[in-house]
């Protein structure tokens, strides 16, 4: 009897649906993070290179809009991703006694935490953009808001850091115990495994991440790309992370 003609094991259809939903949530969260990390430094670079205060105002407004809209978008997409991933792991443990985890899964939490830290650091530079654009009153208001919320962000970051270290250590220990087991879920012949994913997807994510790193490094004055190259890196990051990913 062919594999496709066999009756699927109990729960196989639900696990497949949960995996698809978790994958979609992961892609949305990663695309949102990469888009925010591309737009913020690119807008800041364009504002710094503006010849007049009037020319510096639109990139400053864009930076503020991206920062204010990006924070809740990051929180929502990553919360959905975490909830769906946890639901999938719980269901896999119920059916197979073990949850399938990617080899680099323990590295996702530090990577997301780093993305949040860089986003907040870039957001702290927004008042300076408005000050350079001649909007001192607005820049002062933004600086006051950032200063008054710094203590709350510090406390929340400390709590999140402790939880991050605990969950990372727990997942890393679980990965060592599963090192000798196959990559797919035990007893699930319908699990295509990691090799069934499109090969070009990883390259697209790598290109988007590389473009983001280049833009953030330029914003940190580690190198000085031309304005045209900044726009090209921004377009590449958005295209690879948002447009071309399926």
pLDDT tens, position by position, 123-170 = 889 998 888 888 888 888 888 877 776 667 667 767 766 776 776 676
Confidence class for position 212, pLDDT limits 50, 70, 90: very high
pLDDT tens, position by position, 172-187 = 666 555 554 554 444 4
Q: How far is CA 186 from the centre of its chain?
A: 30
Residue 128: which of 40, 211, 214, 216 has the closest Cα? Answer: 40
Q: What is the CA radius of gyration of the chain?
A: 22
pLDDT tens, position by position, 86-127 = 898 888 888 777 666 555 666 787 888 889 889 989 988 999
- Sign for the CA dihedral angle at 224, 230, 232, 234 comes to positive
pTM above 0.85, yes or no: no
Residue 54 contacts residue 127 (beta carbons within 8 Å):
no
Residue 189 reports pLDDT greater than 50 = no
pLDDT at 197: 55
């Amino acid at each position: 009897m062919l594999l496709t003609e066999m009756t699927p094991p109990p729960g196989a259809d639900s696990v497949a649906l949960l995996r698809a939903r978790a994958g979609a949530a992961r892609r949305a969260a990663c695309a949102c993070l990469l888009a925010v990390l591309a737009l913020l430094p690119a807008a800041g670079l364009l504002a710094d290179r503006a010849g007049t205060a009037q020319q510096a105002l639109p990139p400053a407004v864009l930076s503020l809009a991206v920062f204010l809209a990006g924070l809740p978008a990051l929180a929502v997409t990553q919360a959905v991703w975490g909830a769906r991933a946890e639901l999938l792991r719980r269901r896999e443990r119920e059916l197979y006694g073990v949850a399938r985890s990617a080899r680099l899964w323990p590295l996702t939490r530090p990577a997301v935490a780093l993305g949040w830290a860089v986003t907040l650091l870039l957001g702290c530079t927004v008042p300076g953009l408005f000050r350079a654009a001649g909007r001192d009153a607005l820049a002062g208001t933004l600086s006051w808001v950032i200063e008054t919320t710094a203590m709350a962000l510090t406390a929340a970051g400390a709590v999140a850091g402790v939880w991050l270290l605990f969950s990372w250590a727990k997942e890393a220990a679980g990965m060592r115990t599963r090192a000798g087991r196959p990559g797919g879920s035990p007893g699930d012949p319908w699990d295509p495994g990691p090799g069934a994913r499109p090969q070009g997807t990883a390259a697209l994510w790598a290109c988007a991440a590389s473009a983001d790193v280049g833009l953030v490094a330029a914003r940190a004055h580690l190198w000085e790309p031309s304005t045209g190259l900044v726009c090209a890196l921004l377009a590449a990051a958005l295209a690879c992370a948002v447009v071309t990913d399926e």
